[in-house]
Structure 1
Amino acid sequence: MAGLVVSGTQVSYIGQDCREIPEHLGRDCGHFAKRLDLSFNLLRSLEGLSAFESLEELILDNNLLGNDLVLPGLPRLHTLTLNKNQISDLECLLDHLAEVTPALEYLSLLGNVACPNELISLEKDEEDYKRYRCFVLHKLPNLKFLDARKVTKQEREEALVRGAFMKVVKPKASSDSIATSPECQYTPLPSASRELTSHRGPMSFKAASTAPHDSTLRRKIASGDRDGPPLFPQLVWRSRRCPGEVSLYLLWEKLRGQQVYPR
């Protein structure tokens, strides 16, 4: 088969642009392969890997594996590299590995969002990476190497004490998306005044008959009484958010220096 390289118990199928593990690969090599290299392909699924029951090393670098990655039970697997894939949920991955690869000692996740690295994101620094290592060692205490770096005694001790608190919680939505969401936009208007067809805002025109003034005064306004302003409209400017309610009529009378209410 083109692209297949077999050397003893080592099987390589590199750079073949395959989207899934070929069925014949497991059928022909699964029973004896201890090392399997599937780097530089387009794998999104590891279905078919169950045929390799004796695997001790699995190389999956430079593929398209994401958070839905599922490994079969591989009790002998001690080395797993997943460099440069599309894994962002670290805790989900670690919980899965703890269940299906109990003998795992070497793990590498470089080049994934789940592994904070200054080369990938300028927002990450060495402290982020140290917290990441601490959390990984808390979940997988048997690891001897993580990302090509040997696990030190100090890191192991710190993971026992602080590892559970090193989890990075990601927001479900970015602050930008929240700010631009129509449902989340700030408005100073009360809920009853936010519709375009509603004119019951804090400053609105209402019929004079609804103004809570003296009934005699309202009748004068409605009938265009001569005591009132000659061009006074049958609308009152009201402010529900300010102390009291101010009408155009009151304002006009104030300017004339006259009394508002008859004695």
Structure 2
Amino acid sequence: VAGLLGISYIGQDSKDIPHFLGETYGKFARRLDLSFNQLRSLAGLKMFTELEELVVDNNLLGNDLQLPRLPKLHTLTLNKNQISFEKNQLSLLGNEACPNQLVSLDKDDDDYQRYRYFVLYKLPQLKFLDSRKVTKKELMEAQARGAFMKVVKPKLEAVSYSENRPLPYTPLPQGSRDARNHKGVFAKCRYIYYGKHSEGNRFIRNDQL
């Protein structure tokens, strides 16, 4: 069943992902549900270049599972398969989620280490991450500060201002922005002057002291 963004191919007893699914829907499908089949491989996913969510519950996928490169994938569900994770290994090398120079030249070792801390915070049972063994010290660091290692970049919106359009901010109070309609403004000041020339002393005569 095809929707605008999601494809469901459920309970068809398929051992492989049908080629026609990729040819027909691979360029626009955002979500793909392949639950309740007999899949042993996900090689047919290579045509789903826009995929963001993949559900392959209740299949026959095992420890030899290899996931094709899916640059936009952020959610993967593998419930009730035959994955035992006896070695507790996870490798994400070559994916955008794994920040190293295989993905982008502007990434460095610090970016990669932050990624490891975040993944180990989420999956503390891992013994190997990518091609490197997880150390006890690394796991302790992940539990202590791994939750804060996910980097989120703010979305910047370009704003242009013309000469006739006022700026959205001014340090002046509302009442004093228009020179033709000037009003006095009362406000608190963080500084207090106690000298002999203060406003209070200007109106006190010597015979009143």
Return 5+ residue gaps in structure 2 as ranges: 1-5, 162-166, 187-209
Deviation at 1:128, TM superposition (A): 1.3
TM-score (norm 2): 0.52
Indicate how the Cα distance of structure 1 residues 121 and 75 shifts in structure 2: closer, same or farther if over 3 A, else same: same
Deviations 1:51-94 (A, max 9, x none): 126x3x5444563254433331458632342424213x5xxx48
Indicate how the Cα distance of structure 1 residues 123 and 130 shifts in structure 2: closer, same or farther if over 3 A, else same: same
Deviation at 1:114, TM superposition (A): 1.8
Amino acid at match of 2:67: T
Aligned to 1:240: 184
Query: In the aligned structure 1, how far is the partner of 2:18 from the partner of 2:135?
Result: 29
Could you tell me the percent identity over the aligned residues? 30
CA RMSD of aligned residues (A): 4.4
Aligned to 1:45: 31
The answer to whether the Cα contact below 8 Å between 2:33 and 2:54 also exists between their aligned partners in 1 is no
Deviation at 1:132, TM superposition (A): 1.7
Matching of residues 83-102 of structure 1 within 5 Å: 83-87=69-73, 89=74, 93=75
Aligned to 1:202: 177
Amino acid at match of 1:170: V
Matching of residues 167-186 of structure 1 within 5 Å: 167-171=149-153, 173-174=154-155, 176-177=156-157, 180=159, 185-186=168-169
Query: In the aligned structure 1, how far is the partner of 2:62 from the partner of 2:114?
Result: 26
Aligned to 2:55: 70
User: Which structure: greater helix fraction?
Assistant: 1
Deviations 1:199-218 (A, max 9, x none): x5434224xxxxxxxxxxxx
Query: In the aligned structure 2, how far is the partner of 1:37 from the partner of 1:142?
Result: 34
> With CA pairs under 8 Å and 6+ residues apart, which has the higher RCO, 1 or 2?
2
The answer to whether the Cα contact below 8 Å between 2:35 and 2:55 also exists between their aligned partners in 1 is no
Amino acid at match of 1:130: Q
User: If you compute each CA radius of gyration, which structure gives the higher value, 1 or 2?
Assistant: 1
